[in-house]
Amino acid sequence: MANVTLHDKHFEPYVDEADVAKAIDTLAAKVAKDYSDKTPLFIGVLNGSYFFASELLKRLVIQCEISFVKVASYHGTVSSGTVSQLIGLNERIAGRHVVVLEDIVDTGNTIVHIMAALNEKQPATVAIAALLLKPEAYKKDIPINYVALEIPNVFVVGSGLDHDGLGRNLPGIFRLAQS
Ligand code: XMP
Ligand code: MG
């Protein structure tokens, strides 16, 4: 893999496509085992999760459903801080076994908002599956139940992740170049 330039920034190869695939194989096997008798509802968080959702689901031989949401954040009053809304969630959530699919969990702020919005709808269970986790950045209490790859605190693109819109289509994972 060669270096790539996206807008003003240079990125270097970090995890190749085959190793990403292997990590998703392992994660998929765990999910399949845990949900074989549950018909889970997977909820992919757009845009970044499209790649992970597709790669994970094609490996699952269990019965399941998939839907996608967008997270819209806006600033409410000073006391309520940032408010997030899930756009596009039309499925009935009550009583379902839900698995949220994220491209990356960094500080965890996004996942906290998503979990709050989902829990209001009273699912039977909610788990989180992430293609990437930055353990050094993640300081929340919510467990990230399934993680394909843990990475250090570096900015990455590829496999669904972007720098200002570009790079989602790159195979494998690229990191911001050191130079
Ligand atoms: P938090 O901090 O809320 O971040 O867990 C989650 C969202 O931030 C974006 N993000 C990244 N996007 N490369 C990216 O392309 C990264 O290294 C990165 N770290 C965080 C991403 O949108 C994610 O959903
Ligand atoms: Mg994202």
Q: Which atom of ligand 1 is nearest to the CA of 108?
A: 5
Give Cα 124 distance to the centre of its chain: 21
Per the domain annotation, does 177 fall within a domain? no
Q: Which atom of ligand 1 is nearest to the CA of 155?
A: 17
pLDDT of residue 80: 53
pLDDT of residue 79: 54
Distance (angstroms) between ligand 1 centre and the Cα of 123 equals 25
| Grouped pLDDT means (10 residues each) for the chain, 179 residues | 95 98 98 97 98 98 96 65 80 96 96 94 98 97 98 97 97 92
pLDDT of residue 22: 98
Q: Which atom of ligand 1 is nearest to the CA of 137?
A: 2
Cα gap 164→91, rounded to integer Å: 30
Per the domain annotation, does 1 fall within a domain? no
44 within ligand 1 shell (Cβ under 6 A): no
Per the domain annotation, does 70 fall within a domain? yes
Per the domain annotation, does 166 fall within a domain? no
pLDDT of residue 73: 72
pLDDT of residue 90: 87
Geometric angle at alpha carbon 26, from 25 and 28, rounded to 5°: 65
Residue 70 belongs to domain with CATH number: 3.40.50.2020
Per the domain annotation, does 170 fall within a domain? no
pLDDT of residue 78: 54
Q: How many domains, the chain? A: 1
Examine the residue annotation and report whether 19 is marked as an active-site residue of this protein. Answer: no
pLDDT of residue 63: 97
105 within ligand 1 shell (Cβ under 6 A): yes
Q: 61 lies in which domain range? A: 18-151
Encoded amino acid at 136, one letter: E
Q: Which of 37, 106, 141, 162 is catalytic?
A: 106
Per-residue tokens: 57: 């689901």
